[in-house]
Amino acid sequence: DIQMTQSPSTLSASVGDRVTITCRASQSISSWLAWYQQKPGKAPKLLIYKVSTLESGVPSRFSGSGSGTEFTLTISSLQPDDFATYYCQQYTDYRSFGQGTKVEIK
Amino acid sequence: EVQLVESGGGLVQPGGSLRLSCAASGFTFSSSEMDWVRQAPGKGLEWVSYMSPTGNNIYYADSVAGRFTISRDNARNSLYLQMNSLRAEDTAVYYCARDRGPAATDFWGQGTQVTVSS
């Protein structure tokens, strides 16, 4: 099974900050990597798929990069609506998620 | 409008069974890959199971393999998860989700709560 590890687990930031979350896979997953945002009590929302393709309707301040085993999600200028938990997911070998990164207000 | 509505959750004793349902609308269900994903209280997301449009390909997480069975009825636009031999660690909100394959899982239901406790 492919294990996904995110860092950090919690991130404290202010509105306007540039934020980067890292996701590492236990083996190569090529480009089959997605990012989700989840707010308390809500279903996850797809932000990015295939490493860097922005889902329709997602603001352009979100971007993804990486390949093989190391990937990043970047929020270029953090907005109040962005305080949430973010998950990466690989979908090359079944599916599996990272443990999540909570972005909280500093 | 795409809609996924889960039902069938509830309180069950350890060792018991439960069958979850997911009613789909607003898209061509019979052509769609589907997933079940769960989230234990205060924890992260855990993928549970996948099913291809015709049911030819089915996958399970190791944690549920041999106890859970995914199925679908394309005529009824419905996805199911039969859960047997339930354990306390199966307590979670269970989501069904539309899986677009290379374009990832793009739409989730609101979830149904499953609590395993005596």
Among B45, B106, B109, select the one facing A97 at the smallest CB separation: B45
Average predicted confidence (pLDDT) for chain A: 97
Average predicted confidence (pLDDT) for chain B: 97
**Are B105 and A95 in contact (CB < 8 Å)?**
yes
Query: Quick one: average pLDDT of B89-96?
Result: 98
Say whether A10 sits in a helix, a strand or coil: strand
Among B45, B59, B61, select the one facing A87 at the smallest CB separation: B45
The nearest CA of chain A is from the CA of B20 a distance in Å of 17
CA distance B20 to A20: 37
How does pLDDT run across A28-76, given as a tens digit for each residue? 999 999 999 999 999 999 999 999 999 999 999 999 999 999 999 999 9
**Structural contact between residues B46 and B105, judged by C-beta atoms closer than 8 angstroms:** no
> Residue B75's pLDDT is what?
97
Give residue A17's pLDDT band: very low, low, confident or very high (50, 70, 90).
Answer: very high
Beta bridge partners of B95: B37
Would an 8 Å CB–CB cutoff place A56 in contact with chain B?
no
Nearest CA in chain B to A92: B102
Query: Quick one: average pLDDT of B57-85?
Result: 97
Q: Are strands B45-51 and B58-60 parallel, antiparallel or unpaired?
A: antiparallel
Query: Quick one: average pLDDT of A81-92?
Result: 96
> Residue B117's pLDDT is what?
97
Question: Which of A69, A61, A76 shows the shortest CA–CA distance to A98?
Answer: A69
DSSP letter assigned to residue A32: -
The nearest CA of chain A is from the CA of B88 a distance in Å of 20
Which among A21, A54, A95, A99 is the top mutation candidate for probing chain B, defined by the most B β-carbons within 10 Å of its own β-carbon? A95
